[in-house]
Amino acid sequence: MVNSQGLPPIYADTSIELASAKVITSFPVNTFIENIAIATDGTIFVTNHEVGEIVRITLDGNQQIHASVAGKVSGIAFTTNGDLVVPGWNANSIPVVSLITADGKVETLLTLPEAIFPNGITPLSATQYLLADSYRGAIWLIDIAQRTASIWLEHPLLERSNSESIIPAANGLKRFGDYLYVSNTEKMLLLKIPMSTGNTAGEPEVFVEQTNIDDFAFDVEGNLYGATHIYNSVLRIATDGSTTIIAQAEQGVIGSTAVAFGRTENDDTAIYVVMNGGMFLPPPTGVVAANVVRLEVGKAGYPLS
């Protein structure tokens, strides 16, 4: 069975508890907002994938271009001093990791000629980050102080089913406690990777099957909030793996790609969702504006800022 968009009905029997939703701002139709990071003062930073822009958004919805990269951008994460680490591709389509300073200056930290599809990125320590490579089926360890990159883990569970698939495999990744969680979107898996005290990778295991997660975030209790991209929804996955739909197309999350928790006392129990308006798989009504939507979830994000 497939639904009206030709997708497997993997959430047909999933419980629904819709969160209170508010559209904060919108981008024009055919804007691919790929990822999101939120500063301690509440400022939202998003990556406009195809045009290589990092856009700064205030909580009242005002948008300003913070920086432009000659190429494309994907993931985004903060440094300890408030700069941004942004993977993507340069103008020659070579994977790179860029540093975006607080005043919008762009510097190439390192090139990754052996990478294929740099995607989600998350901090591991003050100077180290883990970066998903969606087509290589690997996770890179990036050191921004040493300006080095090495393979942290390469594993079949991080790969695509076949090399012809255009859907990203290892995609979003976030740490909770002693585990790194990774979404393999192409295989519809959510993975757990145990981490030692030295932050080395253990053997990956499947946490949830038949789930279409792009990027995601955790609350302090370990509940995961995931963007389902082509399923036009946002999920809450509890620590036992049970799944609840908390937002659907009607809440404005068509083509949802990533989520992040607010970080001020006024929004630290809300998540912000970014999207592409259905560019990858348009809804019956066609591609719509790419929104930034606030969802009230009632729990604070992890780790606490």
Region for residue 85 given its phi and psi (left: phi exceeds 0; alpha: psi -120 to 50; beta: otherwise): beta
What is the average per-residue pLDDT within 68-79?
Answer: 97
The CA angle 187-192-198, to the nearest 5 degrees, is: 135
3-class SS at 156?
A: helix
- Does 1 fall in a domain? no
- Does 49 fall in a domain? yes
For 98-117, how does the pLDDT look when each residue is reduced to its tens digit (9 = 90+)?
999 999 999 999 999 999 99
Instruction: Yes or no: say if 113 and 94 are a contact pair by the CB < 8 Å rule.
Output: yes
Instruction: Supply the pLDDT for residue 28.
Output: 98
Read off the pLDDT band of 304 (50, 70, 90): low
Task: List the domain range (segments joined by +) for residue 92.
Answer: 15-296
- Does 302 fall in a domain? no
Instruction: Supply the pLDDT for residue 197.
Output: 85
| pLDDT at 90 exceeding the cut of 60 | yes
For 207-224, how does the pLDDT look when each residue is reduced to its tens digit (9 = 90+)?
999 999 999 999 999 999
Instruction: Supply the pLDDT for residue 16.
Output: 98
Instruction: Yes or no: say if 289 and 276 are a contact pair by the CB < 8 Å rule.
Output: no
Backbone angles phi, psi at 89, to 5 degrees: -135, 145
| pLDDT at 5 exceeding the cut of 80 | no
Indicate the DSSP class of residue 126.
S
- Does 169 fall in a domain? yes
- Does 301 fall in a domain? no
Q: Which CATH number fits the domain that encloses residue 208? A: 2.120.10.30
148-154, strands of its sheet edge to edge: 118-123, 128-133, 138-143, 148-154
Distance CA 22, CA 239 (A): 27
243-247 vs 15-16, strand pairing mode: parallel
Which residues, at least 6 apart from 285, have a Cβ–Cβ distance to it below 8 Å?
A: none
- Does 291 fall in a domain? yes
What is the average per-residue pLDDT within 14-31?
Answer: 98
Instruction: Supply the pLDDT for residue 249.
Output: 96
Instruction: Supply the pLDDT for residue 6.
Output: 81
- Mean pLDDT estimate for the chain: 96
- Does 118 fall in a domain? yes
Read off the pLDDT band of 303 (50, 70, 90): confident
| pLDDT at 25 exceeding the cut of 50 | yes
SS (H, E, C) 161-218: CCCCCCCCCEEEEEEECCEEEEEECCCCEEEEEEECCCCCECCCEEEEECCCCCCEEE
Instruction: Supply the pLDDT for residue 228.
Output: 98
| pLDDT at 2 exceeding the cut of 70 | no
- Does 110 fall in a domain? yes
What is the average per-residue pLDDT within 273-278?
Answer: 98
| pLDDT at 282 exceeding the cut of 50 | yes
Structural domains counted in the chain: 1
| pLDDT at 4 exceeding the cut of 80 | no
Backbone angles phi, psi at 3, to 5 degrees: -90, -170
Distance CA 145, CA 137 (A): 25
Instruction: Supply the pLDDT for residue 305.
Output: 45
H/E run at residue 225: strand 224-227
pTM comes to 0.96
For 126-169, how does the pLDDT look when each residue is reduced to its tens digit (9 = 90+)?
999 999 999 999 999 999 999 999 999 999 999 999 999 999 99
